[in-house]
Amino acid sequence: MLICPVCQAPLSEADGGVACEAGHRFDRARQGYLNLLPVQHKKSRDPGDNAAMVEARRRFLDGGHYAPIAERLAQRVAELAPATWLDIGCGEGYYSERIARALPDARGYALDISREAVRRACKRAPQMTWMVASMARIPLADASCGVLTSVFSPLDWAEVLRLLPPGGVLLRVGPTREHLMELRQRLYDEVRDYDDEKHLAQLPAGLQHSRSETLELRLPLAEAQDRADLLAMTPHGWRASAERRAAVIEAPLDVRVAIRYDWFERQQ
């Protein structure tokens, strides 16, 4: 199932980690995750979200603010009943753990390029295989995943095609143009619109968009810490001015959460 990120040969258990026949070896951290991101595949020393960003997201999600998003995702994946599934860009593991709970008999894998994120994620569901890895070089065998999930994460469509067998499904979760509108209105003089279906134009041959649905709810944020964490876990935390960010943290905020779920099926 696992393959070497250097030569793509199968990986087998070795002392304290995994290795391939060519001699490429990768350690298992004491927390339980595998580091399958070779130095030559990194674009920086510690790619991905840093510790502060990961902690902000952990506090916010563990506060239950996005629980309906996770619950619907887990329900929809459970309906597909895959034997093996992978969460791409798992972050600190909040959504992955919900899926694992809904699929107790399936083999679950999750990856993120951030070591800080995966270090925390693997504590949520030790029965899963957690990996620090690149989504452009996913260390899993061809056609090995019945379901792929991606929550607020970019995708490498070529890897999606490679990993899904015919009939396999990618379930993508992302924001609509209305998501966090009140927050964006406070942060920017002009809120830029975007096309909810822009990602559909990127579909490669072999993937078919089969279904979509949306989830909308109101989210009252009365605590300053919650507002600060929401800023820190979104791009708005570094795009907006310091003055506007401070103003958001100072005053209670009620925002719309508007999420789109898209199903993509691998064709024959």
Number of domains in the chain: 1
pLDDT over threshold 70, residue 48: no
pLDDT score of 82: 98
pLDDT score of 198: 84
Distance CA(129)–CA(120), nearest Å, equals 13
Helix 94-102 with 67-80: angle, nearest 10 deg: 40
| Residues that constitute the known binding site for S-adenosyl-L-methionine | 66, 92-93, 179
pLDDT score of 193: 83
pLDDT band at 44 (very low <50, low <70, confident <90, very high): low
Q: Is residue 187 part of a domain?
A: yes
Residue 210 burial class via C-beta count within 10 angstroms: exposed 0-12, middle 13-18, buried 19 and up: exposed
239-264 average pLDDT score = 95
Backbone angles phi, psi at 176, to 5 degrees: -95, 175
Beta strands in 168-206 (DSSP E): 169-175
Domain housing 56: 12-266
198-218 average pLDDT score = 93
Q: Is residue 7 part of a domain?
A: no
Percent of the chain with pLDDT over 90: 84
Q: How many residues does the chain have?
A: 268
Q: Is residue 3 part of a domain?
A: no
Distance CA(17)–CA(19), nearest Å, equals 7
pLDDT score of 192: 85
Neighbouring residues of 110: CB distance < 8 A, sequence distance ≥ 6: 86, 87, 90, 93, 96, 118, 121, 128, 129, 130, 131
103-115 average pLDDT score = 97
pLDDT score of 47: 63
Retrieve residue 189's tokens. 């003089």
Q: Is residue 137 part of a domain?
A: yes
Q: Is residue 6 part of a domain?
A: no
Distance CA(141)–CA(59), nearest Å, equals 34
4-21 average pLDDT score = 94
| Residues that constitute the known binding site | 4, 7, 20, 24, 66, 92-93, 179
pLDDT band at 41 (very low <50, low <70, confident <90, very high): low
User: What is the pTM assigned to this prediction?
Assistant: 0.94
Q: Which helix (H) or strand (E) holds 150?
A: strand 147-151
| Residues that constitute the known binding site for Zn(2+) | 4, 7, 20, 24
Retrieve residue 72's tokens. 């619907």
Q: What is the mean pLDDT of the chain?
A: 93
pLDDT score of 195: 83
pLDDT score of 142: 98
Q: Is residue 133 part of a domain?
A: yes
Domain containing 104 — which CATH number?
3.40.50.150
pLDDT in tens, 95-107: 999 999 999 999 9
